[in-house]
Chains A and B, each alone.
Chain A
Amino acid sequence: MAIGKGLGNGTHRRPIATQEPAALRWLLIGLALAFLTLFLFIPLVAVFTEALRKGWGTYLSAISDPYALAAIRLTLLTAAIAVPLNVLFGIAAAWAIAKFEFRGKSLLLTLIDLPFSVSPVIAGLIYVLVFGAQGWLGPWLAAHDVKIIFAVPGIVLATTFVTFPFVARELIPLMQAQGSEEEEAALVLGARGLTTFWRVTLPNIKWGLLYGVVLCTARALGEFGAVSVVSGHIRGQTNTLPLHVEILYNEYQFAAAFAVASLLTLLALVMLALKTLIEWQTQRLQRAAGGE
């Protein structure tokens, strides 16, 4: 049984007949880690080493540059508008789809997933076709002096499009699994619709909702392709952080580009940590519920 040691979770050991030989096990672990190192870990570490290649002075001046600060503000502003919009939509869509039976439900589900299968570049293009100078609403917008494309509203719209399904996709299966018995009980006991939502539904879905918000925010902060099409790349005005990285990189200011990129990487790591914590939390809740 010596081979069984260190396998499984210790409480029950797998019998030898359903195990691979130790050599094969270590070969597979080595293969998996080598692949992840080459494609994932080294690129992650490289962002920080390249950012600090010319020392902390360059690093700090790159991230405190006025254009960088403007880009940080715009990126945060964009996420602060796009994420709540998609949260509201996600809750409404999940309520309609999970709590009611209606015709065309699977069609609606497919349509909600649609933005995931559209290239970010095309997501930008379609807004240019609607709001651009040559687009459907272009002449009207020009006459009323409203700028959407090559301005902040276009960036927000494009970001909203690419992050559209995240919250809905987390909430729909969760609310479907929970059913509607608790809400029905609350209503029978005399609660009003909104009270039922705040007191019964929301506490049940809060972890799933938070999970969706984290995924949505991570993508909103980092979107590049769609935003690049509608932004116009005006420094200090319509330049988001990822676009600022591109500009610096194309100007061969590599250390500065990686310094700004390291900020985005830190944000991504924070999002990843939050996501992992939420997963552990829901697993714990599930185990607690199962152990009752």
Chain B
Amino acid sequence: MLFRRTQPSVLPGFNIALGYTLLYLGLVVLIPLSAAFLKAAGMDWASFWKAVSAPRVVASYRLTFGASLLAALLNAFFGLVVAWVLVRYQFPGKRLVDALVDLPFALPTAVAGISLATLYAPNGWIGSWFAASGLKIAFTPLGVVVALTFIGLPFVVRTVQPVLEDLDPQVEEAAACLGASRLQTIRRVILPAAWPALLTGFTLAFARAVGEYGSVIFIAGNIPMVSEITPLIIISKLEQYDYAGATAVAVVMLLISFCLLLAINLLQWWAQRYRER
């Protein structure tokens, strides 16, 4: 039976701790989440399909997933570089930089949103610099990528960093003794060891970016068919009291998120086995 104890223990409190955990989990998370699925199940297939496949909604999927992918890729590359620099090199202010990497976790998304929108606008500090070379960032899909890169920044750094710290220097020495060049050691020894963590960090950043709302809406410009993300579609449907339509789009996003969660769990399981080997 599910949640039945399989080993005896002298410690007290199993029933009350597990009972409270399941009750709270059910009330706060599971029952409300099931409301979305039941509401969607109550729709007939034709209207469900119409809601989730309208051209404006499909354009928003393309933007949300495309920009999230691009942002996660940017974070995978630069996150690896940042993690490497923080683990291997010394430079002034390193501890401060290390602490500030987590800022996107702590800074409210709305604050990040207005700050990035102001900076990357055509008349902003950074935006004017790009505007001079004819590149518009804020209020275009590129702005969405900028915001999603910001909020996904810590994920890759924080998953890759501990793996690089744990790496045994002797392995690199052995590679060097066996005649490998530094580039070969990095490619054949260090990168394979960091690979599962890098992939996990990438997927975490991607999953977070897909659902992100607060930091994006200020910089995106929210032009239908061009720079409108899927969470905003849900909000605007809600504002028009189209609860069924909002729920249908939400269910599509939830299913995709659950697949990503499954992928993350599998990756972490694989990464753990990989490290234990």
A residues whose Cβ falls under 8 Å from a Cβ of B: 6-8, 14-15, 17-21, 25, 28-29, 31-33, 35-36, 38-44, 46-47, 50, 85, 88-89, 92-93, 95-97, 99-104, 107-108, 110-115, 117-122, 125-130, 132, 134-136, 157, 160-161, 164, 180, 183-184, 187-188, 193, 197, 215, 218-219, 221-225, 228-229, 241-243, 245-246, 249, 254, 257-258, 261, 264-265, 268-269, 271-273, 275-276
Contact = CB atoms under 8 A, between A and B. Distances in A.
Contacts of A257: 114
Interface stretch (B54-62, B98-106, B193-201): B98-106
Interface residues of B, number: 98
Contact of A100 (B14, B28, B91): B14
Contact of A46 (B97, B125, B213): B125
Main secondary structure of the interface of A (DSSP, over half): helix
Interface string B166-210: 000100110011000010010000000000000000000001001
Interface in B230-247: 231-232, 234-235, 238, 241, 243, 246-247
Interface of B: 1-7, 9-14, 16-18, 20-22, 24-25, 28-33, 35-36, 39, 78, 81-82, 84-86, 88-91, 97, 99-112, 114-116, 118-119, 125-126, 146, 149-150, 153, 169, 172-173, 176-177, 182, 185, 207, 210-214, 218, 231-232, 234-235, 238, 241, 243, 246-247, 250, 253-254, 257-258, 260-261, 264-265
Contact of A225 (B182, B214, B250): B214
B266 to A, nearest CB: 11
B11 A47 contact: no
Contacts of A40: 100-101, 103-104, 150, 153
Contacts of A7: 88-90
A114 B16 CA distance: 22
A218 B213 contact: no
Given A119-B253, A128-B243, A243-B110, 20 more contacts: A28-B84, A39-B150, A43-B112, A46-B115, A47-B111, A103-B2, A108-B25, A111-B25, A115-B29, A120-B213, A129-B32, A164-B28, A184-B11, A222-B109, A224-B108, A228-B214, A241-B108, A264-B110, A268-B103, A272-B106
Contacts of B238: 125, 128, 229
Contacts of A128: 238, 243
A249 B243 contact: no
A119 B214 contact: no
Contacts of A103: 1-4, 6
19 contacts: A40-B104, A93-B25, A101-B7, A111-B29, A111-B30, A117-B207, A119-B234, A120-B211, A121-B232, A121-B250, A126-B35, A130-B31, A228-B214, A228-B235, A229-B235, A245-B110, A265-B111, A272-B100, A276-B99
